[in-house]
Amino acid sequence: MAELKCLLWDVDGTLADTERDGHRVAFNLAFEEAGMDRRWDVPTYGELLAVTGGKERIKFDYQRRDLEPLPDEEIARLHARKTEHYQGLIASGEIPLRPGVKRLLTEAYDAGITLSVATTTTPSALDALIEHSLGSEWFKQFAVLAAGDIVPAKKPAPDIYFYAMQELGISSDNCLALEDSGNGWLAAHAAGLKCVVAINDYTHMHDFTGADLVVSEFGDPDAKNIFVIENPLNLDNLHHVTLAHLKTIMGA
């Protein structure tokens, strides 16, 4: 029976609901600052989330509108300014952690389970979220922060998960991934990982067939019941997702 030794966390949409009111707003601020006549509304950004990675999203948006592509250097500058705007939004406290995230992180850490991040967001954006939403002490509590362009292929490719596990010196037999999107689930599955998905407004229609548990959020003991979308292992007492649930999934 496999033992849960490590949790591998996605960031955007999983640790915090950062996409609609964080990254999207920051992109628009960068576009406006650059004098570009382009704004991504909520539905448009939802479509663009099918492409993983911010620079890749900008490039794809130009391609699908049959516009002359921006030079890579300009895309990189735009994305760098977008990241600075995003850090400001995070620092303002406007993007809190999702319900149940800090509870699960704390329970796992206190139980001696290794915590790691495997995300396509930039390292600076990840650092800002940890600093302002968890606290600077959490930099020491994550064993590995695998982020951004550290691997060439982004989710749904499994590369970021393989990288994180290699850095940790641990196999997929002892790791569980926590995700929010179809691309994230596909990446975790391709890496041979068990996976729990907490959907959000942008991802609730994604295909999570085969995931070990799909819920509306991780939830908290003193809050209302979470919605359970897929529960193939018939886990009991899913008022909120607990560390015991994650251990059961790993051992199944």
Its sign, for the CA torsion 119, 123, 129, 131, is positive
Query: What single letter denotes the amino acid at residue 162?
Result: F
**List 12, 159, 180, 212, catalytic entry:** 12
- Cβ burial of 230 (10 Å; 0-12, 13-18, 19+) is middle
Question: Residue 57's closest CA among 43, 66, 44?
Answer: 44
Strand order in the sheet with 142-146: 142-146, 114-118, 6-9, 175-179, 194-198, 213-215, 228-230
Q: Any catalytic annotation for residue 10? A: yes
37 is catalytic: no
| Span between the terminal Cα atoms of the chain, in Å | 7
Two structure tokens written together for 157: 């490719």
Q: How many CB atoms lie within 10 A of CB 168?
A: 18
Q: Which residues are catalytic?
A: 10, 12
